[in-house]
Amino acid sequence: MALDPQLLEILACPEDKGPLLYFVDESSLYNPRLKRRYAVRDDIPIMLIDEAETVSDAEHERLLAKAEADGVQPTFSA
Amino acid sequence: MSASTTASTDFEAIKARQQGTWSSGDYAVIGTTLQLTGELLCEAVDVAAGERVLDVAAGNGNATLAAARRGCEVTASDYVPALLDGARARATSEGLTIDVREADAEALPFADGTFDAALSTFGVMFTPNQAQAATELLRVCRPGGRVGLTNWTPEGFIGQMFKIVGRYAPPPAGLHSPLEWGTEDRLAELFGTGVRSLDAQRRNFVFRYRSPEDWLETFRTYYGPTHKAFGALDDAGQVAFAQDLLSLANEHNTSETGALRISSEYLEVVAVKAG
């Protein structure tokens, strides 16, 4: 199930407090500035810095391209 | 404590252990009995229907439920996912929708000024880096937004219980005691000029169990800090610890029926963010 769009609007990276990209089909939230990915498990975003995954440059490029292709907008405009 | 002590304290390591502590036992068994404190806090904060409310270190969601029952749009955050599942289940059973996030009270995943109110019932007081937690509470509130907290006082029954816990399982060096959140002086220090007003009211929560022994068994089994402390002691230590806890309970018990009835003091805090 996708997260509620209204609630997504208030979701930020716990580290830099900036907006995230939400990939519904991959159940993840991505911070392109820090190349950090947060998982969404059972509709609960795991917004813990310790549990986030830092992605490779190639994965970063893939996610940016995917955001572009899928029309994924940042959770809010910073 | 000197600033250098604070700077060298490894908050992350302490937090990781703490997360383990609160994941042990099952706080929900005790947490649900404290529902009244969440309801009273929402009245003190005077939440309005439609307001956006955050419950920090929400546990199984007492303040969350209280705010959702008053028509607020509530986000519950905690670093123990099992407790959040419980919060969601409780809300669902009342036909309420809440938003849940696994998050650290010291690094909240929200933009500045997101909420009309940020609440925490006996939650934020246990963060290792108190200054950081206070900063985050204020940051996520809009100017004029309210921070509402309930914190056990050092003098109250739970405050006294933590003193005994500390004797058997000494806290990490360099940390402020969580009970300092139950004092007006420390709150003024933590929120400083970030708030335009800070009101603190002394209240009592009444614990009710079948007997002092029943209380002890419940806290030994389900309450993270006491559960962990028992686990770290040898047999003799466990016996002495249990005896000290029972003595405290007996001293505070005002029941005349053999049951346990203990009034435990806490501070109910409403701070209004400056700006």
Give me the residues of chain B with pLDDT under 70, please.
1-8
Q: How crowded is residue B124: how many other Cβ atoms within 10 Å of its Cβ? A: 25
Where are chain B's structural domains?
3-204+265-273
Name every residue whose Cβ is closer than 8 Å to that of residue B88 and which is 6 or more positions away in sequence.
B61, B76, B98, B100
Distance of residue B211 Cα from the nearest chain A Cα, in angstroms? 38
Domains of chain A, earliest start first: 5-70 (2.20.25.10)
Nearest beta carbon to residue A10 from set B100, B104, B114: B114
pLDDT tens digits for range B35-89:
999 999 999 999 999 999 999 999 989 999 999 999 999 999 999 888 899 999 9
Please tell me if residue B141 touches chain A, with a CB cutoff of 8 Å.
Answer: no
Q: What is the ipTM of this complex?
A: 0.90
We find that the CATH architecture of domain B3-204+265-273 is 3-Layer(aba) Sandwich (3.40)
Do the Cβ atoms of A13 and B103 come within 8 Å?
no
Residue A1, pLDDT score:
63
Axis crossing angle, helix B224-232 with helix B157-168, rounded to the nearest 10: 20
Read off the pTM: 0.92
Contacts of A50 in chain B (CB under 8 A): 12, 16
Per-residue DSSP letters for B45-101? HT--TT-EEEEET-TTTHHHHHHHHTT-EEEEEES-HHHHHHHHHHHHHTT---EEE
Closest residue of chain B to A31, computed from CA coordinates: B109
Please tell me if residue A19 touches chain B, with a CB cutoff of 8 Å.
Answer: yes
pLDDT tens digits for range A33-71:
999 999 999 889 999 999 999 999 999 999 999 999 999
Closest residue of chain A to B97, computed from CA coordinates: A4
Do the Cβ atoms of A14 and B81 come within 8 Å?
no
Does residue A9 register a pLDDT over 90?
no
Chain A to chain B Cβ contacts (< 8 Å): 59
Do the Cβ atoms of B107 and A7 come within 8 Å?
no
Residue B76, pLDDT score:
97
Do the Cβ atoms of B104 and A48 come within 8 Å?
yes
The residue written with tokens 């099992």 in the block is: B82
Residue B101, pLDDT score:
94
Nearest beta carbon to residue B99 from set A4, A51, A78: A4
Do the Cβ atoms of B111 and A78 come within 8 Å?
yes
Does residue A12 register a pLDDT over 60?
yes
Axis crossing angle, helix B224-232 with helix B11-23, rounded to the nearest 10: 100
Percentage of residues of chain A with pLDDT beyond 70: 97
Write the DSSP symbol of residue B35: H
Residue B29, pLDDT score:
84
Please tell me if residue A50 touches chain B, with a CB cutoff of 8 Å.
Answer: yes
Distance of residue A8 Cα from the nearest chain B Cα, in angstroms? 10
Does residue A6 register a pLDDT over 80?
no
Residue B14, pLDDT score:
82
Distance of residue A6 Cα from the nearest chain B Cα, in angstroms? 10
Closest residue of chain B to A45, computed from CA coordinates: B101
The residue written with tokens 């200054």 in the block is: B131
Please state, in angstroms and rounded to a whole number, the distance separating the CA atoms of residues B71 and B67: 7
Please state, in angstroms and rounded to a whole number, the distance separating the CA atoms of residues B63 and A60: 39
Percentage of residues of chain A with pLDDT beyond 90: 81
Distance of residue B106 Cα from the nearest chain A Cα, in angstroms? 9
